[in-house]
Amino acid sequence: MAKFEPVNHLKRLRNNYRIILKNEDTFEEVIQFKLTRLSVYIALSSIFIILVVLTSSLIIFTPLKYYLPGGGYGNAKQIRTIRNLKIRTDSIETALKQQQRYYEDLEKTLNGKVVKLDTASLKLPKHDNSDD
């Protein structure tokens, strides 16, 4: 089993490679590159960083940021409107649940499926009548 030698791997990063593109019909060389693994790594890393910077700047400096969910962007009026709509939606949901519960209880009552509660089992608060 080959041992990991850092010096050998660093040398391999600097080995020269040649890429030649040829025309298949005439075997004429179209273009030729001399590359190393290190130069390919640096070029790909640079392209990646440039793409990240371009994408970020496109989002930050254009109106695209308003279309991103959860971005928190918008003017104060829009934020206030959204907050009021959320509050109204919650209150409407609560009212709807209460109405549904009322109609279900009403339906049970009309069908005669009322659960009778034993009032003797209810605990009443004790009153001190020491003033009398």
**Same domain as 78, residue 65:** no
* In-domain check, residue 86: yes
Provide the b/e sequence for 65-81 (b: ≥16 CB within 10 Å). eeeeeeeeeeeeeeeee
Residue 33 belongs to what H/E stretch?
strand 29-36
Specify whether the backbone of 23 is left (phi greater than 0), alpha (psi in -120 to 50) or beta.
beta
**Same domain as 86, residue 34:** no
Query: Is the Cβ–Cβ distance between 63 and 75 less than 8 Å?
Result: no
* In-domain check, residue 126: no
- Count, residues in the chain: 132
**Same domain as 53, residue 30:** yes
Number of domains, the chain: 2
Position with higher pLDDT, 85 vs 11: 85
**Same domain as 60, residue 92:** no
* In-domain check, residue 131: no
Query: Is the Cβ–Cβ distance between 100 and 108 less than 8 Å?
Result: no
Q: Give which of 101, 81, 104 is closest to 93, Cα–Cα.
A: 101
* In-domain check, residue 124: no
**Same domain as 78, residue 50:** no
* In-domain check, residue 3: no
pLDDT at 112 over 90: no
**Same domain as 92, residue 78:** yes
**Same domain as 67, residue 22:** yes
Q: How far is CA 110 from the centre of its chain?
A: 48
The secondary structure of the chain in percent helix, strand, coil, rounded to multiples of 5, reads 60, 10, 30
Which two structure tokens, joined as six digits, stand for 18? 């040649």
pTM across the whole model = 0.47
Give per-residue pLDDT as tens, 22-78.
999 998 999 999 999 999 999 999 999 999 999 999 988 988 877 776 665 666 777
Mean pLDDT, range 11-29, rounded to an integer: 89
* In-domain check, residue 4: no
Mean pLDDT of the chain: 84
Q: Range of 105's domain? A: 74-112
* In-domain check, residue 117: no
**Same domain as 63, residue 19:** yes
**Same domain as 89, residue 42:** no
